[in-house]
């Protein structure tokens, strides 16, 4: 069985280099047919720092096309049995790929698999999500799910579960999604209306509706530092995240459900975010908060 690996890069610095080096150090590197790196017009030296290897293929975009579209550019060039979507801030262990192949070969009914993601200190991080309801987004907007997580479940990311057991889940994080190529033949690719965020959740929902199985496997592990490049542009990240959430709600909820999410987003969610920043003393981020929502109001089309 062979693997194609897709990595979308945007100003990832030496994180991309370290990620690729961890792939090349894998004890299953012979199974890797291609490492497809799709660069969204990075302005740093991340591409020039890459090691030379015959399996590395570059797709260099002339502008930032967004995560979903860049992923699809890579997916369309995949020909192997398996496809691994990997973030550049992720590191594989030597045995990670072998564990993925072994599980998928032994469980043909599973189409998508995620692994247990650890932070740089070796601590297990939350990486699975559930399919949200409209009310979950509304409650999230009030801040209640963050203040009282034992009472109000998180809207998507399963921070209320310790991620210590293997199980079927709704979605595994796009930082590490190990998939059969035939999943794309069955349901298509990422919805490119999402610039970034929620594209994997939407993709997983479509796959689940088609009868697919998604498995979270704690026997397979990788390191995910969580140092996403959008963290450098906080206002823009907030804008992208909230816009994608609204796009998800419009596409997958009833009209009343979408309206409820929309109204709550532009009312008490802004207030709850503001008070949370004040209470936690993060005054420097207040400007980013209003800039992010300002972008949403200016760009009215969802």
Q: Which pLDDT score, from 0 to 100, does residue 230 have?
A: 55
- pLDDT digit string, tens, across residues 250-264: 999 999 999 999 999
pLDDT band (50, 70, 90) for residue 280: confident
Average pLDDT, the chain: 94
Q: Which pLDDT score, from 0 to 100, does residue 268 have?
A: 87
Share of the chain above pLDDT 70, in %: 97
Concatenated DSSP letters of the chain: --EEEEEEESS-THHHHHHHHHHHT-TTGGGEEEEEEEE----SSTTTTPPP-TTEEEEE-SS---HHHHHHHHHTT--SSEEEEE-TTEEE-TTHHHHHHHHHHH-TTEEEEEEEEE-TTS-B---EE-PPPHHHHHHHHHTHHHH-TTTS--SSB-TTS---S-EE-SEE-TTEEEEEHHHHHHH-S--TT-SSSSHHHHHHHHHHHTT-EEEEEEEEEEEE----GGGGSHHHHHHHHHHHHHHHHHHHS-HHHHHHHHHHHTTHHHHHHHHHHHHTT-GGGHHHHHHHHHHHHHS---
pLDDT band (50, 70, 90) for residue 233: confident
Q: Which pLDDT score, from 0 to 100, does residue 300 have?
A: 62
Q: What is the mean pLDDT of residues 279-302?
A: 86
pLDDT band (50, 70, 90) for residue 297: confident
Q: Which pLDDT score, from 0 to 100, does residue 4 have?
A: 98
Residue 232: is its pLDDT beyond 60? no
Residue 131: is its pLDDT beyond 70? yes
- pLDDT digit string, tens, across residues 12-48: 999 999 999 999 999 999 999 999 999 999 999 999 9
- pLDDT digit string, tens, across residues 49-78: 999 999 999 999 999 999 999 999 999 999
pTM more than 0.85: yes
pLDDT band (50, 70, 90) for residue 150: confident
């Amino acid at each position: 069985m062979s693997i194609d690996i897709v990595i979308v890069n945007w100003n990832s610095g030496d994180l991309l280099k370290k990620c690729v080096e961890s792939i090349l150090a894998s004890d299953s590197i012979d199974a890797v047919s291609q490492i497809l790196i799709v660069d969204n017009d990075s302005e740093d030296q991340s591409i020039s720092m890459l090691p030379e290897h015959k399996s590395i293929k570059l797709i260099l975009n002339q502008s930032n096309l967004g995560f979903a579209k860049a992923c699809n550019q890579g997916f369309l060039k995949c020909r192997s049995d398996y496809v691994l979507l990997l973030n550049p801030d992720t590191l594989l262990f030597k045995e990670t790929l072998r564990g993925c192949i072994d599980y998928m070969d032994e469980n043909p009914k599973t189409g998508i698999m995620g692994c247990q993601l650890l932070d740089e200190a070796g601590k297990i991080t939350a990486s699975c999500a559930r399919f949200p309801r409209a009310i979950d987004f509304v409650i999230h907007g009030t801040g209640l799910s963050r203040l009282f997580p034992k009472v109000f479940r998180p809207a998507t990311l399963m921070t209320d579960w310790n991620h210590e057991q293997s199980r079927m889940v709704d979605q595994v994080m796009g930082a590490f999604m190990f998939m059969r190529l035939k999943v794309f033949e069955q349901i298509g690719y990422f919805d490119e209306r999402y610039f970034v965020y929620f594209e994997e959740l939407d993709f997983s929902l479509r796959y689940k509706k088609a009868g697919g199985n998604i498995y979270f496997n704690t026997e397979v592990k990788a390191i995910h530092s969580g140092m996403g490049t959008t963290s450098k542009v906080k206002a823009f990240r907030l804008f992208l995240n909230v816009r994608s959430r609204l796009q998800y709600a419009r596409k997958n909820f009833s009209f009343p459900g979408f309206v409820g999410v929309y109204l709550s987003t532009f009312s008490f969610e802004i207030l709850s975010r503001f008070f949370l920043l004040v209470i936690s003393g993060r005054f420097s981020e207040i400007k980013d908060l209003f800039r992010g929502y300002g972008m949403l109001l200016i760009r009215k089309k969802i």
